[in-house]
Structure 1
Amino acid sequence: MRLESSPELEAFRRKVRAFVAEHAPGVKEHSGVRAPEAALMPAIREWTAKLYTAGFLGIDWPVEYGGRPDAHPLEPSVVAEEIARARTWPPVGAASLASAALIEFGTDGQRAHFLPRIRSCTDVWCQLFSEPEAGSDLAALRTRAVREGEGDDAVFVVDGQKVWTTNGQHADMGYLLARTDADVPRHKGITAFALDMRSPGVDVRPLREITGTTDFNEVFLDGVRIPAANVIGRVDDGWRVAMSSLGRERSGVAARGAELSAVLDDLVRLAEETPIGGRPALDDSATRQAIGELAARVQVNAAMIGLAQSRMLHGTQQPADALMGKIFFSELNHDLADLGLRLQGTDGLLTEADPEVPAEGWWQDAHLYSRAYTIAGGANEVLRTQVAERGLGLPRESR
């Protein structure tokens, strides 16, 4: 495995960094995958459209829709890293997942309609996968889609509930999974749809979280009629569509490395500015040891990302790579935020609303949010079982 970058990739990085510095819509106030306030959405839509126009998003799309076949396969990761390093807003929503599904499985008509609207950010997408009893075990989803009619007038009538829908309150379109056949094994009989979120019967209800912000939503679907022309791929083949699109979304992994490096820098700065016994906390040997241990783990995380990218380039991915990377990142992210809070002593009990809170409460919010990463994308406890079974070949746990 070779982790050093190429001169061409570093030249591309400099170009991206300059573009982000000039055009980014300001710094995010909070850590993690968050939903912006409604007032910010016009600026984020404009920013996203600029990224596509400049050739920094949709790099691996077909040429006729703005892709560049000569691009280095790691360019999307570089873009994600630079956006994270600048601590600005990435494109919000699930357009990257939806576009991957449309490019691989969609019809010519679907691609011609939806992809230009994604590039212009006319449509913000959300991901309608998880349900109250189908999160880490996605194949347990119960939302039903029943076909009515035939030919051009055919529709699917959808009833059910989705939850943990990030940016659902801002979304124009939804990338939906629903069960179309209940009499087959549960990984079969699922269909993927493009859902207009303005359709009658779609009820988006924001969820207020422990952080005090509203990033997730629950979405109720009551007799929602989706044209059969909006099926992505084949009916009853939605599991393959979903897994393929999830597997193609790799740039976010690179962004996590840049995000942790930035948080580590902030942690060192906090230790320099926070007094313990009249001296900076960084002068305390126990504090330096704790930060050093976390710094080593940040480097390990970077190495794991590099290994995953190397295997991706050479087509040698292993089943447990993404699982282990997600587990390691999410637990390290929590531990960084936890130390940031503990360094504040009793001030760590303050909230963002308190006028004397250090760093305007960023660490308090980051600590509360950090548990989300250990659950999103599959709870770490479930993923450890998958690592054992898929990565190490251990006997399957009895179901």
Structure 2
Amino acid sequence: MRLEPTPELQALRHKVRAFVAEHAPGTKAHAGVRAPEPELMPAIRAWTAKLYKAGYLGIDWPEEYGGRPDAHPLEPFIVAEEIARARTWPPVGAAPLASAALIEFGTDTQRARFLPRIRSCEDVWCQLFSEPGAGSDLAALSTRARKEGEGDEAVYVVDGQKVWTTNGQHADMGYLLARTDPDAPRHRGITAFALDMRSPGVEVRPLREITGTTDFNEVFLDSVRIPAAHVIGEVNAGWRVAMSSLGHERSSVAARGTELLVHLDELTVLAQRTPVAGGSALDDSATRQTIGELATRVHVNAALVALAKDRMLHRTERPADALIGKIFFSELNHDLVEFGLRLLGADGLLTEGDPAAVADGWWADAYLYARAYTIAGGANEVLRTQIAERGLGLPRQPR
């Protein structure tokens, strides 16, 4: 495994860092994968369009849609890392998932229609996968799509409910999974669709979270009509489409590793500035030991990210790699921000908007959000079972 960057990649990193410093739409106030306030969306759309135009997003797309066949496979990781390092907004929504599905499984007509609008950020996409009874067990989804008509007039009529839809309130399009054959086995009979979120029968209801913000939504689908031409891939083969596109989320893992390095530095500064018995919290040996332990884990996480990138380059990825990385990151992130909140003591109760709050209440917000990372993308308890079964080949858990 090679950990040091090549001179070419290091030069690219400096170039991206300068671009981000010049064009980014300000600092992202909250930790985690969050939805922006509505008034921020025009600036974020413009910022996203600039990233695509500069060739920093959609690098691995087909050349006719703006990709570069000579691009290094690690370029998307560098871009994601530099956006995270600057603590600014990454592109919001599920466009990376939707574009991956369209590029691999879509028709020429679909690619020509949707991909340019993703690049210009005229369309923000959301991911309509999870349901109240199908979160970590996505194959249990029950939203139904029944076909009506034939030929050019054919449509699918969709009824059901989705939940935990990040940025659903901002989305123009939805990447939807629905069951088209209720009699087929669990992982079959599911079809992927491109859904216009302005269609009659689509209702988005925001979910107010413990952080006080609205990042997730419920989405209700009541006799929503989707043209058959908006089926992505083959009918009843949506599971394959979804699993393939989910594999294109790798760069976000690198961004999270960078986030932890940034937050570790911020934790150290916080300890230096927290007064304790005539000195600072960093003068206390127990505090230094805890920060040292967290620093060790942060650098182990960075090594896991590097290993994942190396295996991706050499096509030696293993089924459990992403699962292990997600569990390690999410639990480390929780422990790091929890310790930051403990350092603040009673001041940790002060939240965003309070004039006396340290870092405008960032540590409290990050702590309240941290548990979401252990659930999103599959609850850690479920992922441990998958590691045992798929990664270690242990006997399957009784169903």
How high is the TM-score relative to the length of structure 2? Answer: 0.99
Alignment partner of 2:34: what SS? Answer: coil
Q: 1:285 maps to what in 2?
A: 285
Aligned mates of 2:118, 2:352 — CA distance in 1: 35
Q: 1:274 maps to what in 2?
A: 274
Alignment partner of 1:49: what SS? Answer: helix
Q: 1:393 maps to what in 2?
A: 393
Q: 1:37 maps to what in 2?
A: 37
Please state how far the C-alpha of 1:355 moved relative to its aligned partner.
2.8
Please state how far the C-alpha of 1:248 moved relative to its aligned partner.
1.9
Q: In the TM superposition, what are the counterparts of 1:169-184 in structure 2 within 5 Å?
A: 169-184=169-184
Aligned mates of 1:290, 1:153 — CA distance in 2: 64
Q: 2:160 maps to what in 1?
A: 160
Which letter maps to 1:296?
T
Where does structure 1 differ by over 3 angstroms across 4 or more consecutive aligned residues? Answer: none
Which letter maps to 2:238?
G
Aligned mates of 2:336, 2:21 — CA distance in 1: 26
Alignment partner of 2:83: what SS? Answer: helix
Please state how far the C-alpha of 1:254 moved relative to its aligned partner.
0.6
Pairing 1:370–2:352 present: no
Q: 2:126 maps to what in 1?
A: 126
Which letter maps to 1:245?
S
Aligned mates of 2:277, 2:175 — CA distance in 1: 54
Alignment partner of 1:375: what SS? Answer: coil
Q: 1:82 maps to what in 2?
A: 82
Which letter maps to 2:394?
L
Contact 2:96 2:248 in 1 (8 A): no
Q: 1:54 maps to what in 2?
A: 54
Aligned mates of 2:112, 2:233 — CA distance in 1: 15
Which letter maps to 2:312?
M
Q: Render the CA deviation track for 1:217-245: whole Å, top value 9, x for unaligned.
A: 00000000000000000000000000000
Pairing 1:235–2:243 present: no
Alignment partner of 1:292: what SS? Answer: helix
Alignment partner of 1:364: what SS? Answer: helix
Q: In the TM superposition, what are the counterparts of 1:72-221 in structure 2 within 5 Å?
A: 72-221=72-221
Please state how far the C-alpha of 1:57 moved relative to its aligned partner.
0.2
Alignment partner of 1:168: what SS? Answer: coil
Aligned mates of 1:229, 1:352 — CA distance in 2: 46
Please state how far the C-alpha of 1:354 moved relative to its aligned partner.
3.2
Aligned mates of 2:302, 2:183 — CA distance in 1: 45
Q: 1:326 maps to what in 2?
A: 326
Aligned mates of 1:370, 1:249 — CA distance in 2: 20
Report which stretch shifted further, 31-40 or 352-361: 352-361
Aligned mates of 1:122, 1:349 — CA distance in 2: 40
Q: Render the CA deviation track for 1:13-43: whole Å, top value 9, x for unaligned.
A: 1110000000000000001000000000000
Q: 1:252 maps to what in 2?
A: 252
Aligned mates of 1:204, 1:220 — CA distance in 2: 7
Q: Render the CA deviation track for 1:123-162: whole Å, top value 9, x for unaligned.
A: 0000000000100000000000000000000000000000
Contact 2:305 2:325 in 1 (8 A): yes
Which letter maps to 2:59?
I
Alignment partner of 1:270: what SS? Answer: helix
Report which stretch shifted further, 108-117 or 244-253: 244-253
Identity percentage of aligned residues? 80
Q: Render the CA deviation track for 1:329-365: whole Å, top value 9, x for unaligned.
A: 0000001110000001122233324332222100000
Which residues of structure 1 form unaligned runs of 5+?
Answer: none
Which letter maps to 1:241?
V
Please state how far the C-alpha of 1:277 moved relative to its aligned partner.
1.5
Aligned mates of 1:186, 1:170 — CA distance in 2: 31
Report which stretch shifted further, 365-374 or 246-255: 246-255
Please state how far the C-alpha of 1:276 moved relative to its aligned partner.
1.4
Please state how far the C-alpha of 1:273 moved relative to its aligned partner.
0.3
Which letter maps to 2:310?
S
Alignment partner of 1:305: what SS? Answer: helix
Q: Render the CA deviation track for 1:65-116: whole Å, top value 9, x for unaligned.
A: 0000101000000000000000000000000000000000000000000000
Contact 2:274 2:280 in 1 (8 A): yes
Which residues of structure 2 form unaligned runs of 5+?
Answer: none
Alignment partner of 2:374: what SS? Answer: helix
Aligned mates of 2:87, 2:354 — CA distance in 1: 24
Aligned mates of 1:188, 1:331 — CA distance in 2: 33
The RMSD of aligned alpha carbons is 0.6
Alignment partner of 1:169: what SS? Answer: coil
Please state how far the C-alpha of 1:4 moved relative to its aligned partner.
1.1
Aligned mates of 2:138, 2:73 — CA distance in 1: 29
Contact 2:351 2:362 in 1 (8 A): no
Report which stretch shifted further, 32-41 or 271-280: 271-280
Please state how far the C-alpha of 1:262 moved relative to its aligned partner.
0.7
